[in-house]
Amino acid sequence: MTKISNTLTSEGRSVSNHTVEEYLDSLIDSFVLYKAERYDIKGKQYLSSGFKYYVCDIGLRYFLLGDKKTDVGYILENIVYLELLRRGYEVYIGKVGESEVDFIAIDENGNENYYQVAYTVLDQNNKILKRELAPLNSINDHNPKYLLTMDNVPNMSHNGIKQIYVLDWLLNTDAS
C-alpha cells in the first residue's frame, strides 16, 4: 500500500496508506479485485505482507491501463490465477527462501500444486527457463509442479516439473 500511496503522492495526489487500504478492501469486497496472500512453503506459514492483487476482468485492466504489449506476462499470470480459482483451488503466492513461486493451489483435500507462469522460456542460453524453474526446484516435497507458458512446444518435464502450453492447460478442465 505504501508503494501505491507514494506513487499517487508523486503524481500530486496526497493519499495515505489507510485510504489506499480502504479502497483496496472495497474493490475486493465488490469482486473487482482478488487478493492473493503470501505463503512460506518451507516454514508452512502465512505471511502478513507481500500480497498481490488480480483483477476480475482483464477488460478492466485494458480500460484503465491501455494496451501495453510489455504486460503480457502479467496478464497471463492474472488469467491463470482466475482459472485456478474457477477450478475450486485456494490460491496463494508462494515464498521459498528469497524466491517466489507464482501460485500454490490447494484443493479441497489439502493437496498442494505449484505453478510458475511465464510468457516464454525460449531464449538462446536458457536463462529464462533456469530462472523460472529455480523456485520450483528448491521445493523439496513431492507435490506436482507446473511451468505454464505460451511456448507452443510439446509438453515436457524438467526434473519432474511439467512444462505445459498454457492454452492447452486452460482448455483441459481435467488437468491440474
Q: What is the pLDDT of residues 84-120, one digit of tens each?
A: 999 999 999 988 888 899 999 999 999 999 999 999 9
Q: Round to whole Å and give the CA distance between 16 and 53.
A: 19
Where does 57-171 sit in CATH, by number? Answer: 3.40.1350
pLDDT at residue 48 in the model? 55
CA atoms 163, 168, 169, 173: torsion sign: negative
Residue 52 has pLDDT above 90, yes or no: no
Q: What are phi and psi of 82, to 5 degrees?
A: -60, -40
Cα separation, 175 vs 170, in Å, equals 8
pTM for this predicted structure: 0.82
Indicate if the alpha-carbon torsion angle 17, 19, 24, 29 is positive or negative.
positive
Average pLDDT for residues 63-72, to the nearest whole number?
70
